[in-house]
Structure 1
Amino acid sequence: MPLTAPIAAHVWTLEGGLTVAFERRAAPGFALDLRIPVGSAHDPVGQEGAAGVLEEWRYKGAGDRDARALQDALDDLGVRRGGGVGSEATRLSLSGLTADLPAALGLLADLVLRPTLPPQELPILTDLARQDLEGLEDSPPDLLALEARRLTFPRPQGSPFAGYAHPASGTPEGLAQLSVAGLRAFVRRYGAAGSVLGVVADADAVEVRALLERTFSDWHAGEAHTVPALFQPGLRVHLPHGDAEQTHLSVTAPGVSPHDPGWLAWQLALTALSGGSASRLFHTVREERGLAYHVSASSLLLGGQGFLSAYAASTPDRAPETLTVLLAELARLPQGLTEAEFERARRGLTASVVFGAESLRGRANTLTRDLAVFGHVRPVAALRASLAALTLEKVNRFLAGYHPAVEATVVSLGPGQEVSE
């Protein structure tokens, strides 16, 4: 079947610095996805939770609307909203009917440029953040993910940024230090510089650009900083957790940068490693030995770098064997894939590209991610062509020089002592 003709995406950098990717799609609706390069890693040291609290505070009033009026305005348009705070960015997304695109953009601009940040809401929001932190103790997998991030990517000494060692909800100590004045100063970092917006709608490109120029004309530049991810290789740390019934394992290893020529080959190899019931990890850890119900591996992007992140949970007595098998599969990657593994993984990646582009919201998110991660939009047809051009020989040539197990860091959480291979 021939490749679908590429849909040309328009990419503009507006006067204030906001970069926009617009793609016209024949559909009755629109989708917007805004990524601002301020996340929990950018929280000031000692004020962990600043970005997370601010993301919720925005919806307590913006422009000339209070919280109730703002929610009513969104509901009147039938707009669906989403987003949240990640380690490196804050996202706000809206979707609705095409006729309501100008009004939705106006609401988005109010949320970003003109939040009222009513002081009386701050104690409520910080209390909610504390409750979220307390819930971590009841979720060993989430607690492990947090602790593994803290140990594997510690804050650089002397950095003004809190880094990757805490969740978006912050820390009890950091939440206690948040103030109205401090957060209103912090919100000035949220600007057009480094921000990217993905727009998908059935509208004229010239009109959309003019609308965006008017809507975001007074957005200040703000700040765009990359927080370094200083990977600690070769660590072996066990965190005792008496209430956990299982031993949870986190493995982090070096990966590939999005700008590296081997990126696509690495993605295909990760799909062969952990891309479904026929993947290596699923077969060797779960099906063949029954060591763990869930095991997975995926790419992790931090500080402009790529890492391999794997997870498994097993009974305490079988955790050492689970870890041994998991690391053995990572060590086996340099030997390459079989023809069957290669073809299966390539079909899986191609299907994810095709179906991911079907959804308006999914495509808007992809446009934003492409601009932020790769610096350009990757057309669906071009990405499919790149996957079709991959060969088993190219992937195995890449894997021959890729040794993730050598520097892998292992953090475990559960009852008992350290888990040894």
Structure 2
Amino acid sequence: MALTEVEVLSNGLVLAVEERPWSPAVAMQLLLPVGAVTDPEGVEGAASLLEGWLWKGAGGRDAQALADAFDALGVRRASASGLEYTTFAAEFLADKLRPVLALYADVLMRPHLLGEDLEAVRQVALQERAALEDQPPKKMFTALRRAVFKSPHGRNPDGEKAHLERATAQALREDFARRYRPKGAILALVGGVRFEEAKEAVEEALGGWRGEGVPHPPVELSAPHALHLEQATAQVQIGLIYPDVTPAHPEFYTARLAVQVLSGSSSSRLFTEVREKRGLVYSVYATPNGVKGYSYLRVYAGTTPERAGETLRVLQEEITRLSEGVTEGELERTKVGLRAALVMQDESSRQRAASVARDLYQLGRVRSLDEIEARIAEVNLSRINRYLRENPYRGPWVATLGPRKLA
């Protein structure tokens, strides 16, 4: 099993390298703590606008020349801005590491950020924001998350329409100067590159990048409550958010296995009881989610207006019933399924690089596949059932979206 070597460079950038000598390629994940939670007040969506604007030219290249330069090196790349951070992902041949990093150094340190390029970026952002109206489940969960968090963690990463429209080029340039800094940023490399070679290349390209960025606000929650979004739809969207344990919790893997029993496959409880046996929904699932320092269980069901009340009741009953325990068969199936998913994820260098960066962001350390498998294996039936008795899922925030409020 490959080990991940981690070092904080002199400018505060965290470098993590997982050597895979057999691989001719390298997967890169650069995570910068620049997201909606640190968008300036009144400019929600600034991180999203900046991520798009960066690609409009950097260093000595305009947008087309920059794209051509990446393509000439055979780089498969992607970038995205989210709630807590912005990521830049790439895959390329190992012998192209230095020129690839040089291009990213231009993007991060020497972007053009020309005013005439901002309007096209703004229009794309406004279209993405407007698309929320055509995605009822996403619209419902966007409202629910804002209801859960009193802190900026409830913001929509796509921004607010009025804020996107009034964001000026000068304000965004100043925001870029404040937030696009190396301290706290994480650069993960997985593949055919040695640590010392990678460190030398990173310091050559990014050693001159300096600054501390902006601290993230603490998580602040509202009291659990219910809300309804009225919309003339043929279906009703139901969402619940339950408090859950964070990745640092000693029973984190116990909780993950319990959630897999609830909603991890076609034999899981929610799919079997709510959809297959009762025919209440066309879609139902529960998935762990969260932000740094706070985790939650997100539950979704899509149904008809006539069956919405019954669906919500049955959904909560099934989640409550989890506290009565799981069976040996359920636990073993869940372990096998979870382990298979982990192994397949580890086989992908790109997914592994993303996992390394997330671990360092969330935990400050990297979990190996061996460690995760061992932690899962040690969860036995008595342990998971004791955990569920002592930590039942209860007191959710609830949201519905549909033509009328549930009785």
| TM-score range normalised by the length of the shorter chain | over 0.9
1:340 equivalent among 323, 329, 333: 329
Task: Name stretches of at least 5 consecutive residues in structure 2 with no aligned partner.
Answer: none
Task: Tell me how far apart the structure 1 counterparts of residues 285 and 161 of structure 2 sit (CA, whole Å).
Answer: 31
In the alignment, structure 1 residue 251 sits paired with structure 2 residue 240: yes
Give the TM-score taking structure 1 as reference length. 0.93
1:137 equivalent among 102, 127, 133: 133
2:357 equivalent among 348, 358, 368: 368
Output the amino acid matched with 1:61: G
What is the 5 A alignment of 1:21-420?
21-25=16-20, 26-155=22-151, 163-188=152-177, 189-242=179-232, 244-405=233-394, 407-416=395-404, 418-420=405-407
Say which SS state the counterpart of residue 277 (structure 1) adopts. Answer: coil
* 138-147 or 54-63, larger mean C-alpha shift: 138-147
Q: Percent of aligned positions with the same letter in both sequences?
A: 37
- Give 1:172 shift: 1.6
| CA contact 2:26–2:193 (8 Å) conserved in 1 | no
Task: Tell me how far apart the structure 1 counterparts of residues 68 and 194 of structure 2 sit (CA, whole Å).
Answer: 29
Deviation >3 Å, runs of 4+? none
Say which SS state the counterpart of residue 318 (structure 1) adopts. Answer: helix
In structure 2, relative to structure 1, the CA distance for the partners of 1:358 and 1:303 (3 Å cut) is: closer
Say which SS state the counterpart of residue 142 (structure 2) adopts. Answer: helix
| CA contact 2:32–2:180 (8 Å) conserved in 1 | yes
Task: Name stretches of at least 5 consecutive residues in structure 1 with no aligned partner.
Answer: 1-5, 156-162
Task: Tell me how far apart the structure 1 counterparts of residues 185 and 398 of structure 2 sit (CA, whole Å).
Answer: 34
- Give 1:234 shift: 2.8
Q: How many residues align?
A: 405
Cα shift readout 1:304-330 (whole Å, capped 9, x = no counterpart): 111111111100010111111111122
Find the counterpart in structure 2 of residue 3 from structure 1: none
Task: Tell me how far apart the structure 2 counterparts of residues 68 and 294 of structure 1 sit (CA, whole Å).
Answer: 42
Cα shift readout 1:66-120 (whole Å, capped 9, x = no counterpart): 1011000011112111130110000001111112121111112221222111110
Task: Tell me how far apart the structure 1 counterparts of residues 274 and 290 of structure 2 sit (CA, whole Å).
Answer: 25
Task: Tell me how far apart the structure 1 counterparts of residues 270 and 221 of structure 2 sit (CA, whole Å).
Answer: 24
| CA contact 1:268–1:346 (8 Å) conserved in 2 | yes
Output the amino acid matched with 1:355: M
- Give 1:63 shift: 1.5
| CA contact 1:94–1:104 (8 Å) conserved in 2 | no
- Give 1:259 shift: 1.2
Task: Tell me how far apart the structure 1 counterparts of residues 334 and 223 of structure 2 sit (CA, whole Å).
Answer: 28
| CA contact 2:38–2:214 (8 Å) conserved in 1 | no
Task: Tell me how far apart the structure 2 counterparts of residues 259 and 383 of structure 1 sit (CA, whole Å).
Answer: 13
Q: Could you say what the CA RMSD is over the residues aligned between the two structures, in angstroms?
A: 1.4
Output the amino acid matched with 2:78: G
In the alignment, structure 1 residue 12 sits paired with structure 2 residue 11: no
Task: Tell me how far apart the structure 2 counterparts of residues 273 and 198 of structure 1 sit (CA, whole Å).
Answer: 33
Output the amino acid matched with 1:216: L
Output the amino acid matched with 2:267: A
Task: Tell me how far apart the structure 2 counterparts of residues 364 and 302 of structure 1 sit (CA, whole Å).
Answer: 19
